Structure 1
Amino acid sequence: MNTPVAYRQTSAMAIISLVAGLLGWSLLPVIGSVVAIVTGHLARAEIRRRPEALDGDGLAIAGLVLGYLMVAMAIIGLLFVFLFFGGLLAFIAAAS
Structure 2
Amino acid sequence: MTPPARSNSKSVAALILGIASIVIPFIGFFLGVVGIIVSAISLKEIRVRGEQGSGMAVAGLICSIVGTVLYFVILALILIFAFAATDNNYDYNNYSNIIMEA
TM-score exceeds 0.5? yes
Aligned residues: 89
Correspondence for 1:83: 80
RMSD (Å), alpha carbons = 1.8
Superposition pairs for residues 1-96 of structure 1, below 5 Å? 4-27=1-24, 29-51=28-50, 54-90=51-87, 93-96=88-91
Conserved? CA contact 2:22–2:28, under 8 Å:
yes
State the Cα deviation string for residues 62-94 of structure 1 (Å, max 9, x = none): 11111111111111111111111212222xx22
Structure with the higher fraction of residues in strand conformation: 1
Deviates further, 33-42 or 9-18: 33-42
Q: After the TM superposition, list the runs of 4 or more consecutive aligned residues in structure 1 that deviate by more than 3 angstroms.
A: none
TM-score (norm 2): 0.75
Gap regions ≥5 residues in structure 2: 92-102
TM-score (norm 1): 0.79
CA–CA distance in 2 between the matches of 1:24 and 1:84? 23
Gap regions ≥5 residues in structure 1: none
